[in-house]
């Protein structure tokens, strides 16, 4: 959630969404951050994936910054 809050502070156009009307939606019931075009950011899913990478030593702590940089570049500003 911290990653999402930092992204939202840096990019005020981002907004939270909580989808409860489509049980087939991959992020059903999860809060996601919208504003990246068609792909929402699910912070829980990202954090779990990062944790697995850290535990298996396939990722380092630098990966969190890389994720921030990647998602920052994906932000779509509304005109």
Contact in structure between 43 and 67 (CB atoms under 8 Å):
no
Provide the pLDDT for residue 79: 43
Query: Could you tell me the residue ranges of all domains in the chain?
Result: 2-74
Q: How many CB atoms lie within 10 A of CB 18?
A: 10
Angle at 43 between CA 40 and CA 46, to 5 degrees: 95
Provide the pLDDT for residue 72: 94
pTM for the predicted model, two decimal places: 0.80
Nearest to 7 by CA among 54, 79, 73: 73
pLDDT digits (tens, 9 = 90+) for 11-53: 999 999 998 998 998 899 999 999 998 889 999 999 999 999 9
């Amino acid at each position: 959630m911290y990653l999402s809050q930092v992204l939202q502070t840096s990019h005020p156009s981002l907004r939270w969404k909580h989808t409860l009307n489509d049980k087939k939606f991959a992020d059903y019931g999860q809060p996601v951050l919208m504003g990246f075009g068609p792909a929402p950011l699910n912070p829980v899913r990202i954090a779990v994936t990062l944790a697995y990478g850290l535990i298996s030593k396939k990722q380092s702590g630098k990966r969190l910054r890389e994720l921030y940089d990647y998602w920052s570049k994906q932000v779509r500003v509304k005109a």
